[in-house]
Amino acid sequence: MLRIIAILFGIAFIFAGVAGFLPTFMKDGLLLGYFEVDTMHNIVHLATGVIAILVSTSYRYTKLFFILFGLVYTAIAIWGFWNNGDLIVMHVNMADNILHIVVGVIALYLGLSAKRR
């Protein structure tokens, strides 16, 4: 089941990365009208999505991915809250920070609580 969730995460992140480049999904310069994205942010989403799908070939790598992904996204959220959205190479807004913390905590939960069946 964890491997399937990784594929779904991958699809969602690839969608977010592609959508960030399409004017149809951008309202007032914000993805879906809420999330501040730029080219670097979109590339990070695309790369994360591709990696999530690639690691889903192995249970061990999928579990490790969710742990590392959760740590990184939670750290990015905390950094975004702390630095008022300035992440040096990209800028995020409050909606991004909240989404990053939620996704990071869910990923940590998935990675740390997963038991092989």
Average pLDDT, the chain: 92
For the chain, domain boundaries: 2-113
C-alpha distance from residue 35 to each of 66, 69, 88 (Å) = 23, 20, 17
Task: Express each pLDDT in 25-41 by its tens digit.
Answer: 988 889 998 999 999 99
Confidence of residue 117 (pLDDT cuts 50, 70, 90): low
For residue 94, give every residue at least 6 positions away whose Cβ sits within 8 Å of its Cβ, in sequence order, or none.
Answer: 85
Q: Is 110 in a helix, a strand, or coil?
A: helix
The reported pTM is 0.87
**Residue 93 CA: distances (Å) to CA of 2, 30, 79, 103:** 30, 10, 12, 15
**For residue 85, is pLDDT > 80?**
no
Residue 81 in this model has a pLDDT that exceeds 90: no
pLDDT-derived band at 65 (thresholds 50, 70, 90) equals very high
For residue 102, give the nearest of 84, 82, 85, 78 by alpha carbon: 78
E strand spans, 24-107:
26-27, 30-31, 35-36
